Each structure stands twice: as C-alpha cells, then as structure tokens.
Chain A
Amino acid sequence: MGIRERLSGNEASATAMKQINPDVVAAFPITPSTEIPQYFSTFVSNGTVDTEFVAVESEHSAMSACIGAEAAGARAMTATSANGLSLMWEMIYIASSLRLPIVMSLVNRAVSGPLNIHNDHSDAMGVRDSGWIQLFSENNQEAYDNLIMAHRIAENKDVLLPLMVCQDGFITSHSIENIELIEDEKVKEFVGKYKPEHYLLNDKEPMAIGPLDLQAYLFEHKKQQAEAMRNAKKVILDVAKDFEKMTGRKYGFFEEYKLDDAEIAIVCMNSTAGTTKYTIDKLREKGIKAGLLKVRVYRPFPAEEIAESLKHLKAVAVLDKADSLNAIGGALYEDVVSGLYQAKATVPTVNYVYGIGGRDTKSDDIEKVFNDLAQIAKEGKVENPYRYLGVRGDK
C-alpha cells in the first residue's frame, strides 16, 4: 500500500529523486523547474541523500557535469526547462552518443523567443531526435511514476540511453494534487544499484570516452544508437509490468481512453489529456463516440502500435503543443500520420497546434476539435489538415 500525499509536480519529481538517491545531481535554476533543484538541495543539506549536488553556473555545464559524472560511474540526474534545455543542446547529443543513461526531469516550457515562461512543448520537441528517450506525464502521479521507472529503462544493457521525463510547466509542476507515493525501501529495491560495465573511476581498467570518431566508424556508432532506441520499446514495457506488480498502476506506450468503440479521437500528450478526458465524458453523455489516445512514450515512437489503435476511427485530431514552423504541421502529427500511412490505414487526420506560450486550452476548445472531427468523419476527408486552436486572427 502506497503513501497518500498531496504534492505539486515539482515536489513529486524531487521526491522521486530523493528516493532514487542518485550519486550526483548537477542543475541550474530555470522557471518552472527551479523548485526541483531547490527541494533537492534541501535533501542534500539535511543529509537525506548521499548525492553530491553540483550547483553549476549554466545548463550547458549542468549537462556537461552529468556526462562527466555518469561516465565516471555514477548515477547522475538533472532538471531543466525551455532555454535551459536549449543551452544544453550540444551536450544533449553528446550524452546520448556516449550512451550515458542520465535521467532528466524536463518541465516543459516555451523556448524563447520572445521570452515566455509558460507551458508548451517546444523544448522537448526541439530535442526529439537527439537520442534521448522521452516519457510524457499527464499529471503529478505520472511524473513521479515515470521518474521511478526511468533508470531501469535507461540503464538496461540493451538500451544505455539517457531519458527525460516531461511534464507541463506550471499546469502540473506547480499544481498540488493527490498522489500515491511508493515506500522508500520499495523504490530502492525497484530502481536497484547502478553497475556500469566500464567507467572512468575504475582504476583497474582505465577507459577513454568521447573520441574523434571519423568516417570509418561514426556511422556504425550512430546505427547502434538507433538500435538501442528500438530496443528501448520492449524494455519500457517490461519495466512497466514490474512497476504494475509493485503499485497496481498500469503503463504502456500510450493510454487509450474510451477509444475502443470511439468513432472520433484526439491524440495528445501531457496535461491536455486530462482536459480531453473530461470533455469526452461530457460528449459521451450526448451520445458522441469520442475517444483519446494519450502518448506517454514519444521517443521511441510507437508508430505501429498507435496506428493499430487508431485505424478503426472515422477521424483523428493530433494536438501539437509546439509548432514546427515547417509549413507541414506539428511533429506529433507527422509521426502519427506516417505511422498510419505505413499501416495503410486511411483515417482522415487533422492537426491542431495549440496552447503555445501557455495559452489556456479549455474543455470548450477540445469540444470544438471534436465538433470539427464529427464533420470530418461525415465528409470522410480533410481539406486543410494544418490548423490552429485558440489563436487570434485564425481564419
């Protein structure tokens, strides 16, 4: 039986980190993730954890220090948002290419510019193909649970990739919700000890990491990264099974909400899924067969599985909380559509870019999407698939 608590998303994430008790945390404050290193520093100052906290002078150094620590043989964690992740960008790719299972809590916020501190997914989307596993979280419970599962996935010998757990800035990071925590001892046992095969601090086997890697080998090394990302799919599900045994909470690549018998559905990530579920319940009362597919695992992208779940629908709307500025559509939309195409599923699919810079997305907005979907389902086609939701000046 877990421990019932009331915590904000940031508190929940810091609590997970406390229970994981990593060897090193290196972080730099940035809204809205600042509270995570703040709470964590208190754990360090009070001796609640064994961690060395490196109060670095920038996010670039935060990721550099995490890379150094993880390569040294330690478990290293960090937290950031938006521009912090942008500043880490160079090191993000280096972390994954060196196959270091660093775990990051990413509290999603709009990337500048202009400056904005509120939630969208432009930070996570910017590094979606950097070789990091990306898990998204609808609420505080999921942010916590995903972090508890993170090391088991990232450190698996068939994976060895860094992992980021995403949650919505302010919307979940600063909202206090009921949460069920797992007992410290159970977390310790579940997460297990980190036993790297090779590490810098092993004086019996000195190692060199981070070479100049030229035409003769780089291609093979990148392909191995790609294979590790494919391997991660099975590992994510295996870890979720063990997690379910411990907590009774079930996780997969995505969550289906009233999708089985649905005719129209929304695909989205993070907190908007909550608003969508609420709207679906209202529509169901009116006899509208609406459903939801909430993506939890965005990288590796479970394209086949998503296509399988969506292929029976009459119309699908993919909600992107980041615009791709590419004249085609949002990233999640493109991924879903290419999955459907590969599966030869011809479901009319429409894209809505929404919630940019923290613009509120209300149940009315979601209802509007379902109304549009009902129309698309009736006509069986989509005229203009790249749309906006809740923006002024939209025709």
Chain B
Amino acid sequence: MSLLSAEKLTKTYRSGDIEVPALKGVDFSIEAAAFVAFVGPSGSGKSTLLNLIGCLDHPTSGTLKVLDTDIATLDRRAAARFRGEHIGFVFQDFNLIPVLTVFENVEYPLRMVQLWPAAKRRAQVLRLLDAVGMADQAHKRPDQISGGQKQRVAVARALVSDPKLVLADEPTANLDSETAHRVLELMKKMRDEFRTTFVFSTHDARIMGEAEVIFTLEDGRLLQGENHA
C-alpha cells in the first residue's frame, strides 16, 4: 500500500481575477520508506506539491491521500495535529529557533506539539542527537554551530516524533557540496534506521543522484517518474 497517492491533483492560485495554475492534474504514488525527489525548474510546482503533501495547503481539485487521509478534509486544527503526528519538516534555511539550544530545538515538537513527559522526551532527543552526530553540541545555540550542523539538527527535529514522512524543501541549497553530501548520507541513514519516507523538492543534481525515485515537474505537470532504486 502506498504512503502517498495523488489523483488528478490540481492547485490554482487566484490573484484578483487572475488565475495561476500551479499544478495541473498530477498523479503519483509513493511507497513507504522511499527516498523521493521532486525536481524541476523554479515555478514548476515543486513547492506547491510539497505544501499540499505537508497539509499546509488544500488542493483545488483532485485527491491527495497521505497515510490514507484525504488532506482536503482536514481543517486548520486537524491539519496541524496531523502534521505534528505524522510529518517532519526540513527547511532550506534550517529554521531553527534562535533562543533555544540544539537540544531544545530538537525537543520542541515533543514539548510543544506532542506534549511528551520530560524524561521520555530527553531520552528520545538524546537518541536522535546521537544518531545525527550532534550529541556533543546539544547545549549550543543555533548561532554557535555551522550550516551543516544546523541542518543535522533540523533533520533530528524532523525525526524526533517518529513521523512516517519527512518533507524537505531544498534541504541542501544553503550547504557546500561536502556538507550537502554528508547531510544526504545522514538522511539516508535515518531512512534506513527509522523506516521513514523522505520526500524532497530540489533542483540540486546531488540530491537527484541520491534519490531512489525522481519525479520531474514542469509547468505544473508531472513529466515522468524514474525509479533509481
């Protein structure tokens, strides 16, 4: 059974009387524990698609099911709850909270979203920090660590609540080649260790090379799906 499936998925933005179609009838399905990249030039609809998969937006028409849930049926609160329970996010700019330490940033989803008890939280955060190799930096603040380290922390934060799916929007765009490679290796390792599905939007050739499945988007349409696995 697929983890994600889309049928005739469309998304149209309106600005006054002008309609801008971002996705034009997209069909795809993604299996559990896959390492998937959506690629394409700027404006092709990658970010729109990731926003829809991440329950941050609603489709204009068509169906998008994430973990058997039709995301069009989720209201604002239900969508937030669904994201908190099932989806992790990795952002291009890391988006760590500057006033919190590395430990607290990773802890945040458990503390403020899942409301885990402190002892259980601590064990889980340390496990994830250890897994991404940041346990010794736990007390530092984001402005005291490098870009690659920040993205490692972001990956740990995305995985800390054991989500089924991690969405990463251009996760290596702000990293140098070597750091980007290490972050991708880390993500693959995490996928293997936690059986989490990773979905990227990117036009970074390095990610394309690492992805097992590549969907190419152009002008809001899915051109092809390649399986590199």
Pairing of A with B: no
